[in-house]
A and B are shown apart, each in its own frame.
Chain A
């Protein structure tokens, strides 16, 4: 009987040792902080740890993962963020800056106002490390997705060629086309609107 009890105890020990080892594995401290968004866009982060979840939706809402494995929701502060994340924040790339240009109706020429925008684009390029240009074509809401996608690519390519002619290396330019998915002036589908027939130039 005594022997059986000992065997049982040993078996229990053998089973529980790996379990204890797994529990004893040090949990890393983890901190998640929702930061104020610069453009005021709605912000939220959902943090999941095993079965525990916490939603962060106010600036400086934070979760901390404690050494005992508990996920705790609380608050952080500007000071803590600066102290903990200062180097990372200082390494953030410059945010993209967007310019919009328009072509003369039915022509391959930029409007006079858009010509001065080209100067601003080159000035923005000059202040950035390893600058890139994303040329994004848009259309108005007249016509199908397929025809507008094709048209918006044409517009973007025309603008890319314009920038290449003015001396910007072609490999720095990425062409994208959004068709009628991102109207500058919201309209119902099927509505012609000159201000939506544009090319956006995102300098990054």
Chain B
């Protein structure tokens, strides 16, 4: 029993000590779980450096530098990740955690994106969409990768 308590206390110490663990806010719809190199988030006309644990909200635009990559987990358990030189806009995220109804729309302006759909797409097959400058992807499940090259490439 004491051993169990000690190991639990140790684990709690680890959890409490994990980086930039800001409390979740009500209007957050996802959270940055992985951030490498230069990653920033544009919100309300301001640009802030992304950190692990930072909340993501609808209308955020996530950009990665030439050395950057980022992974975000959303409230419906879907996940998105972007490689270097990417511009990814979270345009809409609505999720009813009881019925699983909702809508999830993102736009990859350039770069690379991988997506794993979650409960929104499972419940409503046309509710998750990824847009690029020229195409619209209706994601019915489950894992996909999208690349938008530079103009004239």
| Residues of chain A at the chain B interface (Cβ within 8 Å) | 26-39, 41-49, 56, 63, 65, 69, 71, 81, 84-96, 119, 122-123, 125-126, 128-132, 136, 149, 166-169, 171-172, 174, 176-179, 181, 202, 204
Contacts and interface: CB of A to CB of B under 8 A. Distances in A.
Contacts of B116: 92, 95
B69 A88 contact: yes
Interface string B54-97: 00000000000000011111010101011110100000000001
Contacts of A125: 11, 15
B11 A123 contact: yes
A34 B143 contact: yes
Given A65-B135, A168-B15, A33 B145 contact: yes
A88 B152 contact: no
A118 to B, nearest CB: 9
B79 A85 contact: no
A38 B116 CA distance: 10
A86 B75 CA distance: 25
Contacts of A47: 135-137
A167 B9 contact: yes
Contacts of B82: 88, 91
Contacts of A41: 141-142
A125 B21 CA distance: 13
A46 B138 contact: yes
Q: Which 4 A-B pairs have the closest CB atoms?
A: A130-B53, A171-B23, A93-B33, A29-B149
Given A29-B149, A43-B141, A49-B135, A88 B112 contact: yes
Contacts of A49: 134-136
